A and B are shown apart, each in its own frame.
Chain A
Amino acid sequence: DISFKKIIETGSSVLLLFLSDPMLKKRDDFEDILEERRNSSDLKYALRCYTPVLYKGVTPCTSSMLKSMVLQSDQLHYVINQVSKETGKATDDIKEEASAILEEMAQCLQLSTVRFFAFTLSKAFKTLFRSICVNEDGIQRLQQAIQEHPVVLLPSHRSYMDFLLMSYILYTYDVALPVIAAGMDFMGMKFVGEMLRMSGAFFIRRSFGGDKLYWALFSEYVKTMLKNGFAPVEFFLEGTRSRTSKSLTPKLGLLNIVMDPFLKGEVFDVNVVPVSISYERVLEETLYARELLGIPKPKESTSGLFKARKILSEDYGSIHVYFGQPVSVRSLAQGKVNRCQFNLVPRHIPRRPSEDIASFVNDSAYRLVRAQEENMVLKPWVLVASLLLQYHHQNQAAGQKRGIALGELTAQAVWLRDLSRQYGAFLHWPGTVVTQVFTIILLALCVLTICEDKELLSQAVILLSCASYRNQALHVFVRPALLALAIHTEVFNSFSFLRNMFSNEFILCPGATVQDFEEACYLLVKTGALQFTQQEVLVTERGHRTLAFLSTMLDPFLQGYQVVCRFLCEEATETLTEKQFIPAVRKFIKKLLLAGRLRYMEVLSSDLQKNSLAALLRLGAVRKMKG
């Protein structure tokens, strides 16, 4: 049982020491790399001398040498023999198969292609974006890290642009170009797939669960590139693009693979660099909203890409790319993993990760996603969107149709700006408040025109787009917001329950309930929203506003989960296939919305529905049956 007095006594003093005060968080300055592009020749830029610093222990090798290293590795030999014994196929046949898989998978990084991209992307970026801002200090840290240890780049994933953008930036700064794990769907795009391959992408099948050979090839391929310092390895911890702008629960497969060489002592250390890419507006914005509402996504195809050219005529604002502090896997693992566990079985024999390693990788993954979140740059529009959404719903509830006075919105925005700063948000807020809010409103007019006469789905598209902006700020508020929801009940227990409930929805590190609780208390007390007396928690006068804002922020999620539960209780027959679930629950929600029994259209988001089902599954409320 957590006593508040204790938290306040130990908390505020100790937390100040250990949880570095978010206000004091030191972040680097940004530099706009497009500025130079606008003032000098793109061709010259694409053809300039490119001589990146490489890993000190690098064994120079070509893409084809890499492949043969993989095919000749002990790991692969072992698996080939194993598969041969199991299937009765000749090892030579399996070897051929392996070689073909590797052919399909492997990258073949070529500088000429990179130069081509450097040229064309310069043109495209200049029309699409106002600026691409990069923290140069981060680049310098990365460069240092690349020299000393094998490096893994972990960018956040919001758009297809992400990995092109990454390579573009690294080329610009003369940093070693990464090899990138990409989904196989890209390969479907005939010409583009090959172009991407030549710019460093390697392709992996989306699912290869039981295929030992594929897994062995894939993991050995990645490890070989990493260990030899061939190039930094880049992949997306979130596995796929987040359609909601919230960070996704990390996928552990690739992280397991890149940590393995360290754990087995094949390299001294691996440095992992989280990269936060924040878009003012992602290219796929409306696509995402439609996808979440069940309007199917167009298959990636080259012709589709050309159709997407009309995108070029729009303004997508600026991009901020923040290269975080390199994280040493060695220091992460210190005291958490006993590396001696690899002493008794030859290291090339594949084994399921032990419990301590599995939980270490999982914890690390969450920490790294949080590190990405922390350095996501929030634009003013994100905060305004959060406010507007709340207004919209309140008005709707009151049956009113009026807007909000500019002056009032400005005042609210200033309040929220200060609050989020105190919570450690990384705000990009140039100019004065009024000019900012004003330009935002103008900008937003085209996006946010919610009027009643549109049909439900079109309204929902707009609302979900708007929610995706608010979602960018969720990571700043989620812990205090959970506390705000819990405040009028048995605080810690409710907090813990809600946190557990939402742990598929938000990035909440497993097993860190107490830390999260302390952090939430600390922030709310520090900002004067809560006071702790001997035995009780008091909401202060000005705290009401904060707490109301915070709990309203999570209200759509709370309602959403409730609706899903209601659906399962009321509508779901004995058994429900996974495929049926989304359409059925969607139908159910539509009915509620049309009947006016549900306020929040964002509950229509399939993301929320899937997450809630996963949570219920995890909590044992529903059960999965094989069949």
Chain B
Amino acid sequence: MASNSSSDRQRIAQQRLRIIAGHLRAPVDSDSTILAAECKAQGSKTDVSSERKTVPRRRQEILKWNGWGYSDTRFLFNKKGQAEFTGKRYRLSGMIIPALQNWFEGTFGASVQHKSPAMPILTSSAVQPPTLNEAFVDELKSTGIPCSHDAEDRVFRGHGHCLHEVFALREGKVGRVPDIVVWPNCHNDVVKIVELACKHNVCLIPYGGGTSVSSALECPPEETRCIVSLDTSQMNRILWIDEKNLTAHVEAGIVGQELERLLNESGYCTGHEPDSMEFSSLGGWVATRASGMKKNIYGNIEDLVVHVKMVTPQGVIEKGCQCPRMSTGPDIHHFIMGSEGTLGVVTEVTMKIRPMPEYQKYGSVVFPNFEQGVACLREVAKQRCAPASIRLMDNEQFKFGHALKPQVSSIFTSFLDGLKKFYITKFKGFDPDRLCVATLLFEGDREKVLQHEKQVYDIAAKFGGLAAGEDNGQRGYMLTFVIAYLRDLGMDYYVIGESFETSVPWDRVLDICRNVKARIIQECKDKGVQFSPLSTCRVTQTYDAGACVYFYFAFNYRGLSDPVHVYEQVEHAAREEILANGGSLSHHHGVGKLRKEWMRETISDVGMGMLKSVKNYVDPKNIFGNRNLI
């Protein structure tokens, strides 16, 4: 736990004051003082104490068992047909979203009259009784580590959030799920569990936040051994903070928002904010090579990790020091990062930390078209002046974002909106069906942020970009956290969809965006989808040599007998198109089982051999048998 000395407290208090002062100096006419943290869900007021665990053992108590996120939070169309976002956790919570219904019905050809509701509760008869390895269970119980073979607990850990997984749950269909769930409390518990698993030859599948979108958590149906889901959620402490070196040593089960909250209490942050950070865990990030929204300042997970401890069937792997860089052969961290649970369980991680930023500011820029927008991002990357986050949405997403504007309370705001729209489309001559928007997030010293902001807006202006206000920017980032809830709403009305990502060299960004979107539309048509799909993309990260591109794709499946199969065929074709256009198999979602078939062409035969030989040495009995990656 963080040190509690009085000098520390004093320092923290001072830092707090600085931050608050930063907020106060913000221009009065904007909500620039709102921190990015406000976009994501907040624990309720009583929840602030650091003793309280964010993720209980029985996750189903606060989280949906067959959809995304918190049970109390969802989109719905009310009796008037207006969209509403329930709960109290998010900025959008409790608000009416008047334009959503029109957008939804218009985009998908769906109707709020045609519902496709999910099965409300899990019938335990749908779950196969557990295959228990009695000897293992007996020994496990004798260690006192909590475990359960309750159907709900097992089902919850048998899936990630791929469309086919959630779709099946909504229909009440459950396939192979883990037979037991164990909740180790610390590194040593994990060592014991792995030892027992080896001794009794049971299959272990590590489970962190459960936000996988690569079928990584699916139990291989051919697995005949007892499958144990190792839920790391109770290993969620910050063990120490080293302010001299700016590192924190943290248990790997901690979820993103908890990690940030606890570090913030001491005036620090990691700055690692993947879109899933409310639920995803530190160990999961390491195991998938995660990437965060603000990587431009803080780096991706591989840049943030200083030291990792992983328990494997061969024992514990870790480095002997906490040095910033070493020339000691291939970096063993790179066997661990991206190993997707096939080699062992990440138990503890030393991560870089940074003092919390004094000042944050959102922003947005409207471009006349996507081409100009990409050219601007490329220039920003070239000049290496990317803000903490810079994202470019295409026209469809821009429209989507607009549909998610909550009801405006004052006539003045709506008048202003109208004026803005008039200025951009009529006065500046932007075609509303072509324009696109970049959202920005600046972070750091107030002075530097303002300077930085000017630099970026100046570049944008060269590409025809017009500053479009902080509000648009902030709404863009808010969407990140609610979009997953929107998928559940779609599924209530015959609309299914998913997002997937890639990374690609700069010279191919436009081509890949155009071709993959067109491929999706063509495949939907060829596969008999009756309505034109939503096929849209955004550039979410910039690098020196390329960018990360996200695709969103959804369609109305009325009239299809096997919508999930059609969906999978289209996604498969889209991935083929990505690869044919020079894109990567994955930028940060990982491979899992969903994208395994393309690994060989991605890393070559020899590369596969290398990975396999590591697996064979570390885990010859395939104890970590989730069969991801290779």
Q: Which residues of A have CB within 8 Å of B515?
A: 265, 268
B601 within 8 A of A: yes
Q: Which residues of B have CB within 8 Å of A346?
A: 507
Q: B507 to A347, Cβ gap below 8 A?
A: yes
B514 within 8 A of A: yes
Q: How far is the CA of A403 from the CA of B63 in the complex (A)?
A: 97
Minimum C-beta distance from B375 to chain A (A):
14
Q: How far is the CA of A524 from the CA of B511 in the complex (A)?
A: 49
Q: A268 to B582, Cβ gap below 8 A?
A: no
Minimum C-beta distance from A276 to chain B (A):
28
Q: B581 to A265, Cβ gap below 8 A?
A: yes
- Stretch of A337-345, A369-377, A477-485, A604-612 at the chain-chain interface: A337-345
Q: Which residue of B lies closest to A148 (CB)?
A: B518
Given contacts A340-B601, A346-B507, A347-B507, contact A265 B518 (CB under 8 A): no
B580 within 8 A of A: yes
Q: A268 to B512, Cβ gap below 8 A?
A: no
Minimum C-beta distance from B107 to chain A (A):
19
B579 within 8 A of A: yes
Which B510-528 residues have C-beta < 8 A from chain A?
Answer: 511-512, 514-515, 518-519
- Residues of chain B at interface, number, CB under 8 A: 13
B508 within 8 A of A: yes
Q: A265 to B582, Cβ gap below 8 A?
A: yes
Minimum C-beta distance from A349 to chain B (A):
12
Which A339-360 residues have C-beta < 8 A from chain B?
Answer: 339-340, 342-343, 346-347
Q: B519 to A265, Cβ gap below 8 A?
A: no
Minimum C-beta distance from B537 to chain A (A):
14
Q: Which residues of B have CB within 8 Å of A347?
A: 507-508
Q: Which residue of B lies closest to A333 (CB)?
A: B580
Q: A342 to B511, Cβ gap below 8 A?
A: no
Q: B507 to A265, Cβ gap below 8 A?
A: no
Q: How far is the CA of A265 from the CA of B505 in the complex (A)?
A: 13
Q: B579 to A265, Cβ gap below 8 A?
A: no
Q: Which residues of B have CB within 8 Å of A342?
A: 582
A103 within 8 A of B: no
> A256-279, CB under 8 A of B: which get 1 and which 0?
000000000110110000000000
> B166-178, CB under 8 A of A: which get 1 and which 0?
0000000000000
Q: Which residue of A lies closest to B510 (CB)?
A: A266
Q: How far is the CA of A315 from the CA of B401 in the complex (A)?
A: 67
Partner of A266, one of B511, B519, B579, B601: B511
Q: How far is the CA of A266 from the CA of B518 in the complex (A)?
A: 13
Given contacts A346-B507, A347-B507, contact A268 B579 (CB under 8 A): no
Which B62-79 residues have C-beta < 8 A from chain A?
Answer: none
Q: Which residues of A have CB within 8 Å of B580?
A: 265, 338-340
Q: Which residue of B lies closest to A264 (CB)?
A: B511
Partner of B514, one of A268, A340, A343: A268
Q: How far is the CA of A347 from the CA of B511 in the complex (A)?
A: 12
Q: How far is the CA of A20 from the CA of B601 in the complex (A)?
A: 38
Q: Which residues of A have CB within 8 Å of B601?
A: 340
Q: How far is the CA of A265 from the CA of B518 in the complex (A)?
A: 12
Q: Which residue of A lies closest to B517 (CB)?
A: A268
Q: A268 to B581, Cβ gap below 8 A?
A: no
Q: How far is the CA of A343 from the CA of B515 in the complex (A)?
A: 15
Which A406-434 residues have C-beta < 8 A from chain B?
Answer: none
Q: How far is the CA of A269 from the CA of B580 in the complex (A)?
A: 13
Which of A265, A338, A342, A346 counts the most B-chain CB atoms under 10 A from its CB?
A: A265
Q: Which residues of B have CB within 8 Å of A266?
A: 511
- Residues of chain A at interface, number, CB under 8 A: 11
Given contacts A339-B580, A343-B582, contact A268 B507 (CB under 8 A): no
Q: Which residue of A lies closest to B369 (CB)?
A: A59
Minimum C-beta distance from B45 to chain A (A):
52
Q: Which residues of A have CB within 8 Å of B511?
A: 265-266
Q: A268 to B508, Cβ gap below 8 A?
A: no
The majority secondary structure among interface residues of chain A is: loop
Partner of B512, one of A265, A269, A338, A340: A265
Q: How far is the CA of A177 from the CA of B581 in the complex (A)?
A: 31
Which B540-588 residues have C-beta < 8 A from chain A?
Answer: 579-582
Minimum C-beta distance from A523 to chain B (A):
32
Q: Which residue of B lies closest to A268 (CB)?
A: B518
Minimum C-beta distance from B14 to chain A (A):
52
Q: Which residues of A have CB within 8 Å of B579?
A: 340
Q: Which residue of B lies closest to A59 (CB)?
A: B371
Minimum C-beta distance from B576 to chain A (A):
9
Q: Which residues of A have CB within 8 Å of B514?
A: 268
Q: Which residues of A have CB within 8 Å of B518?
A: 268-269
Minimum C-beta distance from A264 to chain B (A):
8
Q: How far is the CA of A342 from the CA of B511 in the complex (A)?
A: 13
> B246-276, CB under 8 A of A: which get 1 and which 0?
0000000000000000000000000000000
Q: Which residues of A have CB within 8 Å of B512?
A: 265
Q: How far is the CA of A54 from the CA of B581 in the complex (A)?
A: 26
Q: Which residues of A have CB within 8 Å of B582?
A: 265, 340, 342-343
Which A311-370 residues have C-beta < 8 A from chain B?
Answer: 338-340, 342-343, 346-347
Q: How far is the CA of A396 from the CA of B582 in the complex (A)?
A: 66
Q: How far is the CA of A342 from the CA of B519 in the complex (A)?
A: 19
Q: How far is the CA of A269 from the CA of B522 in the complex (A)?
A: 11
Q: How far is the CA of A343 from the CA of B503 in the complex (A)?
A: 13
Q: Which residue of B lies closest to A328 (CB)?
A: B522
Minimum C-beta distance from B111 to chain A (A):
28
Q: Which residue of B lies closest to A149 (CB)?
A: B518
Q: How far is the CA of A347 from the CA of B505 in the complex (A)?
A: 11
Q: Which residue of B lies closest to A330 (CB)?
A: B522
Q: Which residues of B have CB within 8 Å of A268?
A: 514-515, 518-519
Minimum C-beta distance from B183 to chain A (A):
44
Which A238-271 residues have C-beta < 8 A from chain B?
Answer: 265-266, 268-269
Minimum C-beta distance from A254 to chain B (A):
22
Q: Which residues of B have CB within 8 Å of A269?
A: 518
Which A124-179 residues have C-beta < 8 A from chain B?
Answer: none
> A578-618, CB under 8 A of B: which get 1 and which 0?
00000000000000000000000000000000000000000
Q: How far is the CA of A340 from the CA of B512 in the complex (A)?
A: 13
Q: Which residue of B lies closest to A266 (CB)?
A: B511
Q: Which residue of A lies closest to B602 (CB)?
A: A340
Q: How far is the CA of A266 from the CA of B515 in the complex (A)?
A: 8
Minimum C-beta distance from B575 to chain A (A):
12
Q: How far is the CA of A5 from the CA of B518 in the complex (A)?
A: 46
Minimum C-beta distance from A153 to chain B (A):
22
Q: How far is the CA of A285 from the CA of B427 in the complex (A)?
A: 62
Q: Which residues of B have CB within 8 Å of A340?
A: 579-580, 582, 601
Q: How far is the CA of A265 from the CA of B582 in the complex (A)?
A: 9
Q: Which residue of A lies closest to B508 (CB)?
A: A265
Q: B507 to A339, Cβ gap below 8 A?
A: no
Q: How far is the CA of A578 from the CA of B508 in the complex (A)?
A: 47
Which B488-520 residues have C-beta < 8 A from chain A?
Answer: 507-508, 511-512, 514-515, 518-519
Q: How far is the CA of A342 from the CA of B580 in the complex (A)?
A: 8
Minimum C-beta distance from A77 to chain B (A):
13
> A525-537, CB under 8 A of B: which get 1 and which 0?
0000000000000
12 A-B Cβ contacts within 8 A?
A265-B512, A265-B515, A265-B580, A265-B582, A268-B515, A269-B518, A338-B580, A339-B580, A339-B581, A340-B601, A343-B582, A346-B507
Pairs of residues from A and B, 9 with the lowest C-beta to C-beta distance, nearest first: A339-B580, A268-B518, A265-B581, A343-B582, A265-B511, A268-B515, A265-B515, A266-B511, A340-B580
Q: Which residues on A are within 8 Å of B, measured CB to CB?
A: 265-266, 268-269, 338-340, 342-343, 346-347
Q: Other than the known A265-B508, A266-B511, A339-B580, what 16 A-B pairs have Cβ atoms closer than 8 Å?
A: A265-B512, A265-B581, A265-B582, A268-B514, A268-B515, A268-B519, A338-B580, A340-B579, A340-B580, A340-B582, A340-B601, A342-B582, A343-B582, A346-B507, A347-B507, A347-B508
